[in-house]
């Protein structure tokens, strides 16, 4: 079963608060979310096109684990903490299913294990 992803986009309109938001997200929110969600990976991004846009993406082993997290109390607590600390920051959420990986620059032969090449 492919991995599933939970994506949160936050808009920090006040440029003077972005550094504090970035520090809080990196040192408090992401560690809390990774632990609470039990995810295998997490990433954070700032948009190059719109400096107010922050995106976080959490990788779940499969859709069932993502669905369980969405129904659970951990997300509710993290949302409450976020709302308390950053009430002026708006957010949207999205769930995604993995559709495959493209390894750029690799020939099909290079994707085979040494035993498969024989």
Residues across the chain: 118
CB contact at 8 A, 45 and 55? yes
Q: What is the pLDDT of residue 39?
A: 92
CATH of domain 4-117: 3.30.70.100
Kindly report the average pLDDT of the chain as a whole number: 90
pLDDT in tens, 11-58: 999 999 999 999 999 999 999 999 999 998 999 999 999 999 999 999
Q: Rounded mean pLDDT of 61-76?
A: 95
pLDDT in tens, 78-87: 999 999 999 9
pTM above 0.85, yes or no: no
Question: How far, in Å, CA of 32 to CA of 93, rounded?
Answer: 18
* H or E stretch at 34: helix 30-37
Q: Rounded mean pLDDT of 90-104?
A: 86
């Amino acid at each position: 079963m492919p991995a599933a992803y939970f994506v949160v986009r936050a808009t920090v309109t006040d440029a003077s608060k972005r550094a504090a938001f970035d520090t809080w997200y990196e040192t408090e929110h992401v560690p809390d979310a990774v632990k609470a969600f039990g995810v295998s990976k997490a990433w954070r991004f700032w948009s190059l096109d719109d400096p107010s846009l922050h995106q976080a993406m959490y990788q779940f082993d499969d859709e069932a684990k993502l669905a369980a997290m969405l129904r659970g109390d951990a997300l509710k607590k993290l949302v409450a903490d976020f709302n308390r600390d950053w009430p002026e920051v708006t957010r949207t959420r999205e769930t995604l299913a993995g559709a495959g990986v493209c390894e750029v620059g690799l020939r099909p032969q290079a994707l085979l294990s040494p035993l498969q090449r024989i």
